[in-house]
Structure formats: structure tokens, C-alpha cells
Structure 1
């Protein structure tokens, strides 16, 4: 998962440079980077990334777009994982 997060982070930089921040493929790279960040053990970082992504998806794609709904779902998931992580400390 850590290797995938690093790869998506590199891809994200390229997509930002070439396509811009609001392009659907850039938003998809952000989604994948946030997901693998969480899978690599950084639930708080994933939740923060999904919070930012959700705001941009709402602005760019609207509240009813499937990708916006997926970002909202993943934000809730990683916030839940943060609670689990805190309870095991």
C-alpha cells in the first residue's frame, strides 16, 4: 500500500502539471492517493485528503455525481478508522 501511495503521489504531480487541478483524471489520482495513504496506515492523512477532495468534487462535479458520493463515503470510512486507531492507542 505504501508503494502504491507513493506511485499515485507521483502520478498526481504529473496530472496537476499537465491536466490541471479540476480535471477528472487529476481528481481520480487524488482519490487513489488518499485511499492508499489510508491503506498504508495513515487514516488521519487519508481523512484529511478526502475532506479536501470532497470539497473540490462538490465544486467541480456537484453533489449528486457518483464520484462525489464515493469521496463522501471514503471520507466517512477513514474518519471511522481514525476512531478505531485512537481507541487502540
Structure 2
């Protein structure tokens, strides 16, 4: 699984119309840190993820560009199907 949090941070920052410096000031890091996140040279500290997610009004999963492989509906459908199969045996 490839983590591309930098691209998500960059896209959300640009959508909000704020500078790297403004984001850095809000989070309490240097502008260089934000730049490194956005270019994939480093990642934000794990303790900053909830702050960044709240600032951009996204979930941490969205911030991390994580998509579940199965939706809850698909999982429920598979579970029901398996349950029925076991009950008939």
C-alpha cells in the first residue's frame, strides 16, 4: 500500500487557498516540513494527523489516502452469504 499523504495535504491546502507557511504556523512546524510532506521527502509526525485531518475537515483515512478494499455493505453481503451457507450444511 502506497501512502501519499503529501499529495492529499497539498491538494487540501490549495483548495483552502492557504500557503505552506500558514499551514505550518497552524500545525506548529516549519514551512520546510510542510514542503517535505508535500513532495514526499518525509511524513508528518503521527501526532499531527488528527490536527491536520480536523483542519482540512477530512478523516484520517482520507488524509492518508486510504480506501477500504471492501465497503461495509460488501462485507455484510459476504457475511450473510457465508452464514447462510454454513446454516444449510
Would you say same fold, with TM above 0.5? no
Structure of greater Rg: 2
RCO (CA 8 Å, sep 6+): is it higher in 1 or 2?
A: 2
Of Structure 1 and Structure 2, the greater helix share is in: 1
Normalised to the residue count of structure 2, the TM-score between the two structures is 0.26
